[in-house]
With several copies, the nearest count.
Chain A
Amino acid sequence: MAILHTVNKSPYEKTSLESCVQRSDAGAAILLIEDGVYAALAGGAKAELVKAALADRKVFVLEPDLKARGLADQALIEGVESVDFDGFVDLTTQYDQVNAWL
């Protein structure tokens, strides 16, 4: 089994991403959506969380949410892959289950 974990909260505001990174297994994927996309910024102080996850998990970010927040031109952490809503749907088919870290 491999799980797709969604995180929709800013890592600067809530501990959801940290909790997810600590409890997701190798081979899992983390998809950053809504305010979760702030975690993907290369220059942010919380970039370490995503970098740690990238060691053995995939990390995706929902591009429409990046664009809404004016972050389309910001550098993302290397290895983070952008997806649109089509890609979000595809990820839910590629992984065995979905878990939301609210």
Chain B
Amino acid sequence: MSEENDGKKFMFVNRRAPYGTIYAQESLEVVLIAAALEQDVSLLFIDDGVFQLTKGQNTEGVGMKNFSPAYAALGDYDVSKLYVEKESLEERGLTLDDLQHLTWEDEDDDWAEKDSIRLISRDEVKKLIEEQDVLLSF
């Protein structure tokens, strides 16, 4: 259990790229519900999941819905822990600058705006997975 939250530790494991399949988009709906039900929610982005967070997504040419603004809205739902694996980013030739700048406001720190994305190593991913009560993979 986390310190701030009496709910279970829910981790959403995102391993797939957006648009090719719907999993990334539909998983966000579960994230919001889990947050609304006051669970201790975090998101993990590994493998092609890191592609979900790229900035500048423009779906006009493919005729699909651009759901990337939903990631920026997560902070409003108190979802502030978005773990991105450093090795996955590097393998794909991306840096943090290629991703959206996502923030949340910390109630316990006079509503200071803080970064939601936390870059972690593969070894830290290993440990983080072991600490969860519920793992939902999409």
A and B touch in the complex (CB under 8 A): yes
Q: Hey, which bits of chain A sit against chain B, CB under 8 A?
A: 1-3, 8-10, 12-13, 15-16, 19, 22-25, 28, 34-35, 38, 41-45, 47, 63-65, 67-74, 84-85, 97-102
Bound CA–CA A22/B126 (angstroms) = 8
- Do the beta carbons of A22 and B122 come within 8 Å of each other? yes
Chain B residues with Cβ below 8 Å from A84 are 61
Identify A68's interface contact among B19, B125, B129, B138, CB under 8 A.
B19
Q: Hey, which bits of chain B sit against chain A, CB under 8 A?
A: 13, 15-21, 46-48, 51, 54-62, 64, 66, 68, 90-94, 98, 122, 125-127, 129-135, 137-138
What's the nearest-Cβ distance from chain B to residue A35, in Å?
3
What's the nearest-Cβ distance from chain B to residue A34, in Å?
5
What's the nearest-Cβ distance from chain A to residue B91, in Å?
4
- Do the beta carbons of A19 and B46 come within 8 Å of each other? yes
Given contacts A8-B20, A25-B127, A100-B137, contact A45 B57 (CB under 8 A): no
Nearest A residue (CB) for B57: A70
Chain A residues with Cβ below 8 Å from B13 are 99
Bound CA–CA A69/B48 (angstroms) = 12
- Do the beta carbons of B54 and A70 come within 8 Å of each other? yes
Bound CA–CA A33/B45 (angstroms) = 23
Chain B residues with Cβ below 8 Å from A15 are 47
Given contacts A25-B130, A84-B61, contact A12 B18 (CB under 8 A): no
10 contacts between A and B (CB under 8 A): A3-B130, A38-B48, A41-B93, A45-B91, A63-B61, A68-B18, A73-B56, A84-B61, A97-B135, A102-B137
Chain B residues with Cβ below 8 Å from A47 are 93
Chain A residues with Cβ below 8 Å from B58 are 67-68, 70, 72
Bound CA–CA A84/B60 (angstroms) = 12
What's the nearest-Cβ distance from chain B to residue A41, in Å?
5
- Do the beta carbons of A13 and B137 come within 8 Å of each other? no
Identify A23's interface contact among B21, B55, B56, B125, CB under 8 A.
B125
